[in-house]
Chains A and B, each alone.
Chain A
Amino acid sequence: MLTLLILFPLFALVAILAGAPARPTAAAAASANLLLAVAAAVTWHHPAWEFSLQVLETPAIHLAFGFPDGMSVVMVLLTALVTLPAVLTGTAPAGRGSLWYGSTLLISAGAMGAFAATDLFFFYAFHELALIPTFIMIGLLGRGNRSEAAWKITIYLGLGSIVLLAGLVWLAMLAGTLDMTRMADAAGHIDAGSQTSIAALLILGFGTLVSLFPFHSWAAPAYASAPAPVAMLHAGVLKKFGLYGLLRVAMPMVPEGMQAWLTPLLVLLLGNILWCGWVTISHKRLDGMLGSSSVMHMGYLFLAIAVLAAHPANDLARPAAVLLMFAHGVSIALLFALADRIERTAGTLDLDDLGGLATPAPVLALLFGIGAMASIGLPGLANFAGEILVFLSAFRNFDPASGIGPLQITCILAIWGVVISAVYMLRALRRIFHGPTFGATARVADLTLAERIPALLLVAALLAVGLYPNLILNLLR
């Protein structure tokens, strides 16, 4: 069953290459996947969702998929939820339909495989598989300074992946198995020195993939140049692979190593939130600002990981991180989709050239406003629940009699990020949608019914989870 989630996009890809109409095929596969993912979320305990096939005897590599816990389910659901809007949003340049939709599907399949894999080899390989079309799409079909952006993201993520690979190989050698479900038991006896080194490699490798400060400078230009589906899928889904990896691999297997790097991690995540937050404020274009804001929001997720590193028994940090990953993925995908729509009709994303867009396009303004409000953590939308749980987790193990520790200070400084994100998001809303309508914005038409569907899908997810976070949290119990 679970393999179908990965095979649907791949079949569709083959069909598209064989000449099937690209957009309908891709949309059909993505819709089927969404239904399947929802079904998975309901019935994930059932053994029908497991699959294993030995592809190599030594080392014992299995093509194995399964839901070891709710975290994978949520990530698979997120992937399916973002893929359908990513397929429906935007249109391929004439004649490049098969490349456009094929790459989108391949990214989706790769992400799906990485989140569902229970074998360390395929966990890594599927992510790499998804990166390749990402690079190609940015390089060939991107906009603006696309070649430089494509080079930058390729080199950055390539280097990050190599460092990560070193860490994973080392870990697998010490654990003696590639089966992620059994690794945690085998990894219990790794000595502290190796744990520290492996944790450093994993933090560096996964961190680069998630744009951990100071390895973040690929993100803003890459997202600004990327075609909409790629920006949506990478910022929304694929980037979460690094965090998922830290939670799935690093935390259970090298807990002492992670603890050893707690202080640097706290400093770096503040770099993400405060430093990159300030950078975001001074962005002059919407796409760069959104890209930079997604770098900033990764800081909150690293905060949850730092809490887990400090207190492995903390019962809030892990669900909080997964919920926030889900929420951020959906909200940033929504924002990128709508930003792309603005660029296609207004011809610019420069904040100085836009204004008063809410008058000609009220529905666009409403939906973008919901995305922006979700992004700054407004209650009632999913991001708030994630953020508040992350903050609560930082104070969960805090003993008031002993005074405030570095974790709590970091958390309080991180809360200031909530103010920073309000500054840049409201400023963007003000500049783009409010004020008198002029120039480029006057001719922008409102979203058509077909254009509303993908955005409404994402908004519905944000609202549903925001109004009742237990929808996701119950999966993580």
Chain B
Amino acid sequence: MNQAWILLFLPLAVAAASLLLPRRTALVPWLATASAAATLVLSLHLVGSTGTASFDWASVGGLHLRVGILLDRLSTGMMVVVTGVGVLVHVFSLAYMRDDAAKARYFTCLQLFMFSMTGIVLASDFIMTFIFWELVGLSSYLLIGHWFEKTSAADAAKKAFLCNRVGDFGFLTGILLLWSITGTLAFSSMDVPTSVSASLVTASLLCIFCGAIGKSAQLPLHVWLPDAMEGPTPVSALIHAATMVAAGVYMLFRLQLSLGAEVFGGLAGDVIAWTGGLTALAAALMAVQQDDIKRVLAYSTLSQLGYMVMAVGLAAGEAGMFHLFTHAWFKALLFLGAGAVIHACHHEQDIWKLGGLMRRMPVTGATFLAGCAALIAVPFTSGFFSKELILDAARGHQPVLFWIAVAVAVLTPFYMTRLVIVAFFGGSRSDAASHAREVGPLMAVPLLVLAVPALIAGNRIAHGFAPAVPERAGEFHLNSLFWISVAALVAGSGAAILLYRGKSRDPLSIPLLRERFYIDRFYDRFIVRHLQDSAAAIVHFLDEWIINGLLVDGCSRAAASFGGLLRRMQSGHLQGHAFAFGLGVLLVIYFTVFF
């Protein structure tokens, strides 16, 4: 158990120490990387162990909020993913951020993130989940805004934080409702009593799901994730692909484990599954028309997260978690590959200005292809096994969702093949691309290491490390489902090869998809500018004029004008006063004598 506590607090200690260390030393990056490596060793050591431990964090009256650790297959498996990807991203960053002036801050924030993410994974208690949920939001904010001098990065960081906050509004409400329903905050002892109305349970689940919508960037709060690509690319790999954005799925599955899958049966499950399915489809469509290499990957992350959420909604959380496990490896690989490309091409991210990189960067190209194969579910890669399970779950429950998922399975190979053909094959279309050279060992080694789990994480040999393994995981049958997925794969990649081979401009132009269904623009124009800013201005105006102006100043003006009336009498004329005085005396005499 002590190892688990060290696992949790080591990154925090390192982050705190980094703040106190002198800035210009090169010590901080190496210290952070060493800490990440240590956490990976600890996580591997903890695989398979179970247990709980906690201490009182805040105790009031009869309520004890506890910070605790819950070790089980789910949390230890997830820790392997977090620390495994984490350490590779640290190593990759050593090279990627070598020339950055603020790399000490960067690595401090990475350690803060590792601490927060570990907290979410190990949390034994819903309040603790919420605490670390917010902290990953903070570290994500800080890392997206790493280059805060850039207007776009600063805006993206703010947007990410705010979208998450909107989700957290629901999340916190849901936690409070669930707390009053079950009477506990601890995952281990949650139980829905039969006396509680089903609608209240559904409401609380949907509120909690709002948190997952924010963190895992589902419709309609998905807008922050593509913008979050403004952060350094290793961060995108770790936080915005492999781990943090998957926290929503993890949390929902944790809830499914403690409440029982049957609670997700009714309306709540349907809403979750449909949100996931629609996000998967919409994001895949948007990815088709993106030109920025990182944005294509970001939309594909959205789409894959949609798959996972859909699986949880279909009460097949194991399949969702299994996909999370495989996805983490291959998506981290793809992002780091993109990072290598961006690094080699002097921060050129437009795929139409790349091209021909396969020859110049063979290691990056080959590993990118491996990751791509897993993402588009080439048979026997890791993504193939996990996606198959989700499709299977969808077919059993909701035929419409199944066909949506199949459509996504066609679109995914389409846009990924497009990306690979345009960026890695053909001729170089810019100076930056034609002078690209293979990256150094600090960046190449993480790519090569990641390529291994990207290919084999779905197979039996890796199941020991997986956070959840569904019944038929890693099995292979030549059934109708297999043929459907192969057909989808062939159709998608085939169409892309036909369409994009040898092209130097995008032959397709679909403004609706390029503009992301105009959702961002709608939010910016309507919700932020009108609903929020104009309304705030109106409320401020009312506050100024009605409360402050009319009521308060009205009172003061009434008092002032009454005083002004009285002031007239203070003319300062000696004789006027004397006259009034005499008149007063006369009146007094008159009234006393004659009445």
Physical contact A–B (CB less than 8 Å): yes
**Contacts from A to B (Cβ < 8 Å):** 152, 155, 214, 216-217, 275-276, 278-279, 281-283, 315-316, 319-320, 356, 358-359, 373, 378-380, 384-385, 388-389, 391-392, 394-396, 398-401, 403-404, 411-412, 415-416, 418-419, 422-423, 426-427, 429-430, 433-437, 468-470, 473, 476
Give Cα A214–Cα B548 distance, bound, in whole angstroms: 9
- Known A315-B60, A358-B148, A379-B131; judge A278-B539 contact (CB<8 A): yes
A residues in contact with B180, CB < 8 Å? 395, 398-400
Give Cα A476–Cα B63 distance, bound, in whole angstroms: 13
Considering only residues 21-80 of chain B, those with a C-beta below 8 Å from chain A are: 56-63, 65
Is B267 interfacial (CB 8 A cutoff)?
no
Give Cα A116–Cα B162 distance, bound, in whole angstroms: 41
Contact check, A379 vs B61: say whether CB atoms are below 8 A apart. Answer: no
Contact check, A315 vs B63: say whether CB atoms are below 8 A apart. Answer: yes
Of the candidates A155, A415, A423, A470, the one whose C-beta lies within 8 Å of that of B57 is A470
Contact check, A419 vs B132: say whether CB atoms are below 8 A apart. Answer: no
Give Cα A35–Cα B547 distance, bound, in whole angstroms: 43
Give Cα A384–Cα B145 distance, bound, in whole angstroms: 23
Give Cα A420–Cα B239 distance, bound, in whole angstroms: 25
* Highest count of chain B CB atoms <10 Å: which of A155, A281, A404: A281
**10 residue pairs from A and B, CB less than 8 Å apart:** A278-B535, A279-B540, A378-B135, A384-B131, A400-B181, A400-B197, A401-B197, A415-B169, A426-B161, A435-B154
| Contact bitstring B338-352, A, C-beta under 8 A = 1, else 0 | 000000000000000
B residues in contact with A320, CB < 8 Å? 60
Is B292 interfacial (CB 8 A cutoff)?
no
Give Cα A384–Cα B169 distance, bound, in whole angstroms: 14
Give Cα A416–Cα B148 distance, bound, in whole angstroms: 28
**Contacts from B to A (Cβ < 8 Å):** 56-63, 65, 127, 130-132, 134-135, 138, 145, 148-151, 154-155, 157-158, 161-162, 165-166, 168-169, 172-173, 176-177, 179-181, 195-197, 200, 532-533, 535-537, 539-540, 543, 547-548, 551-552, 556
- Known A316-B60, A470-B57; judge A282-B168 contact (CB<8 A): no
A residues in contact with B61, CB < 8 Å? 315-316, 319
B residues in contact with A216, CB < 8 Å? 547
A residues in contact with B134, CB < 8 Å? 378-379, 384
Contact check, B176 vs A411: say whether CB atoms are below 8 A apart. Answer: yes
Least CB distance from B106 to A in Å reads 13
Contact check, A419 vs B149: say whether CB atoms are below 8 A apart. Answer: no
Of the candidates B62, B166, B173, the one whose C-beta lies within 8 Å of that of A315 is B62
Contact check, A282 vs B537: say whether CB atoms are below 8 A apart. Answer: yes
A residues in contact with B536, CB < 8 Å? 278-279, 281-282
Q: A214-B547, A380-B131, A423-B162 given; name 9 further pairs at CB < 8 Å.
A: A155-B556, A316-B61, A395-B177, A400-B177, A415-B173, A429-B158, A434-B149, A435-B150, A470-B59
Contact check, A282 vs B533: say whether CB atoms are below 8 A apart. Answer: yes
Contact check, B169 vs A427: say whether CB atoms are below 8 A apart. Answer: no
Least CB distance from A376 to B in Å reads 8
Contact check, B63 vs A392: say whether CB atoms are below 8 A apart. Answer: yes
B residues in contact with A389, CB < 8 Å? 58, 60
Contact check, A435 vs B151: say whether CB atoms are below 8 A apart. Answer: yes
Contact check, B58 vs A400: say whether CB atoms are below 8 A apart. Answer: no
Contact check, A400 vs B533: say whether CB atoms are below 8 A apart. Answer: no
Q: List the A residue with the shortest CB-CB distance to B151.
A: A435
- Known A401-B195, A418-B165; judge A470-B540 contact (CB<8 A): no
Give Cα A458–Cα B65 distance, bound, in whole angstroms: 25
Of the candidates A155, A380, A388, the one whose C-beta lies within 8 Å of that of B135 is A380
Give Cα A401–Cα B548 distance, bound, in whole angstroms: 43
Contact check, B60 vs A391: say whether CB atoms are below 8 A apart. Answer: no
Contact check, A434 vs B148: say whether CB atoms are below 8 A apart. Answer: yes
B residues in contact with A282, CB < 8 Å? 533, 536-537, 539-540
* Highest count of chain B CB atoms <10 Å: which of A316, A400, A412: A400
Contact check, B176 vs A395: say whether CB atoms are below 8 A apart. Answer: yes
A residues in contact with B56, CB < 8 Å? 470
Give Cα A401–Cα B131 distance, bound, in whole angstroms: 28
A residues in contact with B148, CB < 8 Å? 358, 433-435
Least CB distance from A275 to B in Å reads 6
Give Cα A388–Cα B58 distance, bound, in whole angstroms: 11
Least CB distance from A270 to B in Å reads 13
Contact check, A278 vs B132: say whether CB atoms are below 8 A apart. Answer: no
- Known A281-B533, A388-B127, A392-B179; judge A412-B173 contact (CB<8 A): yes
- Known A316-B61, A320-B60, A435-B149; judge A430-B158 contact (CB<8 A): yes
Contact check, B57 vs A422: say whether CB atoms are below 8 A apart. Answer: no
A residues in contact with B165, CB < 8 Å? 418-419, 422
Give Cα A11–Cα B168 distance, bound, in whole angstroms: 50
B residues in contact with A315, CB < 8 Å? 60-63
Contact check, B179 vs A379: say whether CB atoms are below 8 A apart. Answer: no
Contact check, B539 vs A279: say whether CB atoms are below 8 A apart. Answer: yes
B residues in contact with A379, CB < 8 Å? 130-132, 134-135
Give Cα A385–Cα B131 distance, bound, in whole angstroms: 10
Q: List the A residue with the shortest CB-CB distance to B172.
A: A415
B residues in contact with A437, CB < 8 Å? 149
Contact check, A283 vs B58: say whether CB atoms are below 8 A apart. Answer: no
Contact check, A469 vs B135: say whether CB atoms are below 8 A apart. Answer: no
Give Cα A388–Cα B63 distance, bound, in whole angstroms: 12
Q: List the B residue with the shortest CB-CB distance to A422.
A: B165
Of the candidates A359, A391, A418, A427, the one whose C-beta lies within 8 Å of that of B149 is A359
Give Cα A396–Cα B180 distance, bound, in whole angstroms: 7
A residues in contact with B535, CB < 8 Å? 278
Give Cα A400–Cα B194 distance, bound, in whole angstroms: 11
Least CB distance from A22 to B in Å reads 34
Contact check, B59 vs A473: say whether CB atoms are below 8 A apart. Answer: yes
Least CB distance from A90 to B in Å reads 26
Give Cα A385–Cα B532 distance, bound, in whole angstroms: 28
B residues in contact with A392, CB < 8 Å? 63, 176, 179
- Known A423-B162, A473-B60; judge A434-B135 contact (CB<8 A): no
Give Cα A470–Cα B177 distance, bound, in whole angstroms: 25
- Known A217-B547, A389-B60, A470-B56; judge A400-B149 contact (CB<8 A): no
Give Cα A152–Cα B56 distance, bound, in whole angstroms: 46
Give Cα A469–Cα B63 distance, bound, in whole angstroms: 13
A residues in contact with B168, CB < 8 Å? 418-419
Least CB distance from B511 to A in Å reads 30
Q: List the A residue with the shortest CB-CB distance to B105.
A: A362
A residues in contact with B176, CB < 8 Å? 391-392, 394-395, 411-412
The 10 closest A-B pairs by CB, nearest first: A315-B61, A434-B154, A379-B131, A281-B536, A282-B536, A278-B539, A282-B540, A469-B58, A217-B548, A434-B148
A residues in contact with B62, CB < 8 Å? 315
Q: List the A residue with the shortest CB-CB distance to B102.
A: A362
Give Cα A275–Cα B154 distance, bound, in whole angstroms: 28
Give Cα A216–Cα B135 distance, bound, in whole angstroms: 33
Give Cα A5–Cα B37 distance, bound, in whole angstroms: 51
Contact check, B169 vs A279: say whether CB atoms are below 8 A apart. Answer: no
Give Cα A423–Cα B57 distance, bound, in whole angstroms: 29
B residues in contact with A214, CB < 8 Å? 547, 551
Least CB distance from A212 to B in Å reads 12
* Highest count of chain B CB atoms <10 Å: which of A275, A392, A437: A392
Give Cα A419–Cα B536 distance, bound, in whole angstroms: 14
B residues in contact with A394, CB < 8 Å? 176
- Known A217-B543, A419-B166; judge A434-B130 contact (CB<8 A): no
Contact check, A316 vs B63: say whether CB atoms are below 8 A apart. Answer: yes
Contact check, B135 vs A436: say whether CB atoms are below 8 A apart. Answer: no
Contact check, A469 vs B57: say whether CB atoms are below 8 A apart. Answer: yes
Of the candidates B65, B158, B200, the one whose C-beta lies within 8 Å of that of A400 is B200
Least CB distance from A295 to B in Å reads 10
A residues in contact with B197, CB < 8 Å? 400-401, 403
Least CB distance from A359 to B in Å reads 6
Contact check, A378 vs B58: say whether CB atoms are below 8 A apart. Answer: no
Give Cα A314–Cα B533 distance, bound, in whole angstroms: 38
B residues in contact with A217, CB < 8 Å? 543, 547-548, 552
* Highest count of chain A CB atoms <10 Å: which of B56, B60, B532: B60
